Amino acid sequence: MARTFMKGSEAVAEAAVRAGCRFFAGYPITPQNEVPEYFARRLPEVDGVFVQGESEVASINMVYGAASAGVRSMTSSSSPGVSLKSEGISYCAAARIPMVYCNFQRGGPGVGAIQPAQQDYLQATKASGNGGFEMMVLAPSTVQEAVDLTYKAFDLADRDRNPVLLLADGVIATVMEPVELPEMKSDEEVQKIRDSKYSWACVGHKLDYANRSWIQPGQWDTVKMQKENEIAEELYKSWEKDVMVEEYEVDDAEIVIASYGISARIAKSAVEILRKEGIKVGLIRPITVHPFPYKSFENLDYSRVKTILDVEMSIPAQMIQDVELGVKGRCPIETCLVSGGNIISREAIIDKVRALVGKEA
């Protein structure tokens, strides 16, 4: 298949269109502005609808409405903008509405900096909204992977009737790389997907209230609410089969780097350099950061692995909490961190690993 040179944010939008997304509502915020700009041009070409909402709050609720009617729908934002959408995301989870959204992370907290960061990990994986709901969270390290995961996200969302998050950063949003785009779903395929949701979607027929695609404050009593939470828990447990992870050079590694997204991409190149120096270092890169690949850490041979190095563009470290759950205290965990819009350097990772090797010697 021919490759196309595309900016990350535009490639994500095109992948969504090819996956059958026919509704997008969003609001401008750096560094994801090219996502709504691309949708504004592209969706009319496929009889889709683009809306620039008057705010992030308005946009997520428009997505809630369109997805409730069975349309594959999407929104995107960056860090503080995602925070504003959190109530609407929680409503989609409560109503069992399949929708996809992206967060191209910037420095924080608060308004923060417009440069890339990885400071929304805990928000994405632990608290994307009230009520303790969970989502599958996919974390690409390249533009190609962002394309592939966006395309996949719509199938996962429909399968589970649950929101799915693509967690990227400003580097992925703005870098240009060659990508192979997935096949465009035909109009017939898009309609078939929408028709498959007839039993629950708001499409003008009398709804089965046990299968509703909307919620009304105060609608549920405590017994029903608990039952819905129990059903959701079973869904979350089923995701163990969907865990995606890259394990690179870990078979004989004595130092294992744990990192995701763009940091992991940089760390992988550091591993290649350090290996040439004879340093036995490897990389575990979660692709699904939720559910997290705990087994990749549980399966390490801790008679050989001396240190785990957590590499993140976040201070304090956030993913380290999941790494600790996987390691279970079986070896020390060190960190190599930057924050606030600074991009981790390969040299910083290399220097940290060399220092750890010297410390162990």
The reported pLDDT for the residue numbered 215 is: 56
Q: 3-class SS at 164?
A: strand
Tokens read off for 361: 């010697």
User: Does domain 4-241 sit in CATH 3.40.50.20?
Assistant: no
pTM for this one? 0.95
Q: Are 74 and 99 in contact (CB under 8 A)?
A: yes
Residue with the two structure tokens 């162990």: 360
The reported pLDDT for the residue numbered 288 is: 98
Report how far residue 102's alpha carbon sits from residue 32's, in angstroms, rounded to the nearest whole number.
9
Cα distance from N-terminal residue to C-terminal residue, the chain: 49
Q: Is residue 59's pLDDT more than 90?
A: yes
Tens of pLDDT, residues 167-207: 999 999 999 999 999 999 999 999 999 999 988 888 776 65
Tens of pLDDT, residues 269-307: 999 999 999 999 999 999 999 999 999 999 999 999 999
Tens of pLDDT, residues 206-231: 655 555 555 555 556 788 888 888 99
Average pLDDT of span 232-242: 97
SS (H, E, C) 176-245: EEEECCCCCCCHHHHHHHHHCCCCCCCCCCCCCHHHCCCCCCCCCCHHHHHHHHHHHHHHHHHHHHHCCE
Q: Encode 94-117: b = buried (16+ Cβ within 10 Å), e = exposed.
A: bbbbbbbbbbbbbbbeeebbebbb
Q: Are 320 and 259 in contact (CB under 8 A)?
A: no
Q: Domain limits of the chain?
A: 4-241, 245-360
Q: Are 4 and 177 in contact (CB under 8 A)?
A: no
Tokens read off for 193: 């997907």
Average pLDDT of span 340-351: 96
Report how far residue 85's alpha carbon sits from residue 77's, in angstroms, rounded to the nearest whole number.
9
The reported pLDDT for the residue numbered 208 is: 58
Q: Is residue 236's pLDDT more than 70?
A: yes
Tens of pLDDT, residues 70-101: 999 999 999 999 999 999 999 999 989 999 99
Residue with the two structure tokens 């910037």: 106
The reported pLDDT for the residue numbered 358 is: 86
Sign, CA dihedral 229-232-234-239, equals negative
The count of other CB atoms within 10 Å of the CB of residue 267 is: 28
User: Does domain 245-360 sit in CATH 3.40.190.10?
Assistant: no
Tens of pLDDT, residues 108-158: 898 889 999 999 999 999 988 999 999 999 999 999 999 999 999 999 999
Identical fold between 4-241 and 245-360: yes
Residue 56's nearest CA partner among 26, 86, 78 is 26
The count of other CB atoms within 10 Å of the CB of residue 341 is: 17
Query: Phi and psi of 338, rounded to 5°?
Result: -135, 175
The reported pLDDT for the residue numbered 325 is: 98
